[in-house]
Structure 1
């Protein structure tokens, strides 16, 4: 798929097993970009290539649109919610990290 700003959808699949990511990157790209794996509650996987110093807001919006969601889900890394204003560099992401995605639940 085409890049949108600082985020690019590079692969998606129906499960988290056996995913291979094929992307043409140079060493300069590798230093500026990270591949981040988004996994939802049904184990559907979406890999996005994001810039290290760009906020997660664009990646979260790309995930929402790619998943045809009308409401923005919650994004967690190591059990902690990620703010859209934080960058991968601020969370010390090195690449290939997994972000867990949970749909919003309402009511009690």
Structure 2
């Protein structure tokens, strides 16, 4: 979670309500951490899918099936509640490289 460009506001909002990628894209100022942000909507969607892969996010479900909205999973809530300062901690070069490698091989 710390290797991605999303702020605490994103995860807290996802905990309260489902958000879709278009909403996130158009609210970069609210959801961007530091100066990093995905270069296009497809890259944003890839980051969100990665968070689904590792169990932090899930697709919201309605009566018709899966929707385009994302929500925080119980694991995501546990990570944020277990360490409220999680996203404010710096990410070292070593962690960044490991994160990129994991995404590359998955």
TM-score w.r.t. length of structure 1: 0.31
Which structure: greater strand fraction? 1
Which structure: greater helix fraction? 2
TM-score w.r.t. length of structure 2: 0.32
